[in-house]
Structure 1
């Protein structure tokens, strides 16, 4: 179970050409699409944010200019009247004039709430006139102490709530030139509030004005004078201008140079996201549609690459199993088509090669069978020769015995003439039988000679066939070298394609994968040709062994032919001797009546017959030994022919694995 899981896992992580192409196209489709989509969304988000920030900055500038235009004249007014009033302005004679000056100022500047002047003696004149609380001392008020400490500069107080109207006011004050008091103007911030109420920063944003102490002067939700809180407040108070953010809002702020007021534009961060969301959705739809179209096109492109490769791999696997009927058909004129043509040429060359080897193997098998049949016939003929020689030897022994008897008879010829005549007839009869046996032996030797010559011719033909087979093997090796060269060239082309793909970078990655698969197919072709080369080498070794065996058989046959010819000569001599014996016996029969006169001649003839018989016995033994050697040689030839037939069957079995 674990092995199956491991196998499935291994197959899953095996990167085929299809997987590599899919991954490559996915990267090509997804990365640019997602990058473009994200870039579009981020650009839109940043543009919206920049527009809101620009609006915030512009509004801050407007408010800052308004505050400056609103406060700056009052600063000049305060400086002017501080120079206009002096200690005499508080005297009883000039008091009314001071009040009239304040009335005139108020009539000219209705935006001012109150104009007033206080002295070091505690006197306090203001218009419009309000009843001041009991114990009111202007000298203890912030506007008075700050102006006195400002060393001739006009000051603007922190916003405060007016005791009479309840409005938020600021006081612009300047110490009198003679140092006897302070002139001041109370200003309402309602005009500033009215201005900011009409200002929007984006759809949700708004402007905020803070005092230098961090109190709200203008805020759509908080009352003036409320202490501002949040992580953004402290950076705003510490810096002159800048931008800070918290979790919900972004604050662009600046400081009014005349008053020190902090003007901030508040931008809601979620507003930017909401405004950019439709753009994001539109981008997602467009990118999704683009990816869908790309996936469809990618599917057809990958199919056009992997389908012919799968067919070529299937055909290659079947060829490696021995099926040479496979062909690759691809109509497109591309690299795969050229690879398929090379594959078809390789299969055709293998088909011709195997067919040629098969024909030679069949011819070798037929020649081996013929050689075995001839060897068997030769064995039978040799056995007949052996039997004939044994009969000759037996007759020769009988002849020797009879010659000895004849010798005794000759010695007693005078006494036993009649017995000698009988024995002479027996000798003549035996001599005739020996002549007949020798004639049969001579015929067998002639037959053996013819058969040995036929075997010698067959072996010569077989040697020619085996030599042709060896030459065909050399031709096959040359074809294999050509195929190997094609495989090496294909491998080189695949390497060049991989290099060009690497130069192409990301766009060439898919072609690098195809080049790598082509290289693998070339390596498989090279391995297949190497296997065939080893098979042909084995065939060449077997044919060399067969040639060696046939050469040995040819030598042995030549030796056997020489021995048989020698035996034939011996038989001819024996026949000649037997004929002479017959002639002598006839002479002896004719001369029996003259036995008395020719006894000595008969004794000499008998001695000659005895010598001939001894020589015949010796020659028969020599012929018998030579025949036995020939029989052993024929057995070796039979064994060699059997081995050659076995090798031919093995070769046919190997060739039979190929389907043609």
Structure 2
């Protein structure tokens, strides 16, 4: 170790504990600043998502409106260089940087986690698109990128997407490397390195921009031009600190002590004797483990300074006595020499030396104490008067108490500026939100009036609906009763139909018997007709016989006449023959008379027979007609019987259906009655509730007016806050 370092440590041995507190404070402050920064970015991305959700309709946000929202929010939240959506197919569907639309990112970690419904902060990683898009809220920017993402789900359409926000890694590095937080201006550096990676990044690899990446903050060596080491050549980067620097001691090619101890112990603090860093220069500092919100990797953070600068401090208690003592020694030596040279000038020389010592002391105190204090007091005075320039800093910092006061005062100013800037940013956001709130309140007021009318109409409609339902319930009762009557009537119809069917069957059987009798009668009539025809024929034969008898009778008369004539001729001998002839003539006359009578009778019989035949034929025709009609009747009765059987079956089924429907109607009526009673009660309750809701809506409308007034007051307060913030001069990135 260099002898000068040992001397510095010996002179300032009391600084070791103080330096530990300094590094503890730096690390605590940088960690808090990073956590706040990450939290703010997540809040901003969630606000983008909330704004989009607020505009969702039944389908989805219109593309024009979505582009307008993300473009507007990108302008509002300046740390983001791009805000975009990845759809469920893994392609960029909307982006504030339109050249990226349609880009396939289905293998991108943010898309994969988003489809799983998880947020993710991915990075830092190399992305050439960040260089094309350009700077956002930092004057430094390169390919190194952080990607924030939130899952998006449209409940109406069931569609998934991922909302992403791109931030250059240099924006985060600006927070880490806030210049006024560096107490050790010449060598102080705050940096992040990888501890645990799921991407194969080697532990100890730089993942933030170094303060010495270029000559922005220091005039000495930097990484882009090359940092020279004593024995191990020049350390140089091509594009950026991230991923190109691994914090190893070049003498051992192993991670230097500060990084290794932080990884092993999750904490590290050393300010003496220090350890060689990647330049093989002794440094001291504080290291901790850090994991950003929704990041799947673990980072380490180290805040360091060179041991030489840490112990470069020279107290005023040391410098002023040394300076004044040296001047006094020289002055007394000169006075002693002059006094020995000439006693007459001893007093004047003593006075002159005193004046010189006094003036030198005044100059030294003015230079070392008064002027720095005056600069600090002036800045304090400007801030106290409300017209402070927070960009001013106390310059020409010395390595003493006054320099320490100036350094801490500069850090205080930086903290105040950071605070005021956050207040200013919040105030602007509040102002814009209040403008939106005022607009929403106006819309809500008009909507509330419409809602009040709708509720009133709904109450009126509910009452009318209840009345209709009550009438329906009564109608259901009537229908149920009518159904029961119909079922009863159908029962009777079914019984009558069955009786009719029985009678039809009996009539059918009787008709069949009649038909059978008619058929028998028809046969008998045919037989009678045949018999009458035979009788007619017999009558004809008898008539023929009678005619023969009549002819015989005529001949007999002629013979009797001849016999009488012959008997007369015979005289007395012929008297007996005459008597016989007379008897024969009488018999012939009687036969003739009988034949005439028989002829008349036969004529009558023939006439009657012919009449009988005609009547029998007419009867036979009528019997045929009746038989045909009876047959038709039987067929009709059979058809009627079939139909009656079908009707009986249908009536039975209808009766069963009516009976089932009656039961269902009974159940419906019971349920309807119960529901009607409940609806009636609910309507009465809801009527009271609706009136309460109407009163509440009126109260809401009144309260909205108060909210509108309050938003105007807040808007004015925000304007006043902006005016207060604008009174300070801030460093704008």
TM-score (norm 1): 0.32
Higher share of residues assigned helix: 1
Query: Which structure's relative contact order is higher, taking Cα pairs within 8 Å and 6+ residues apart?
Result: 1
TM-score (norm 2): 0.29
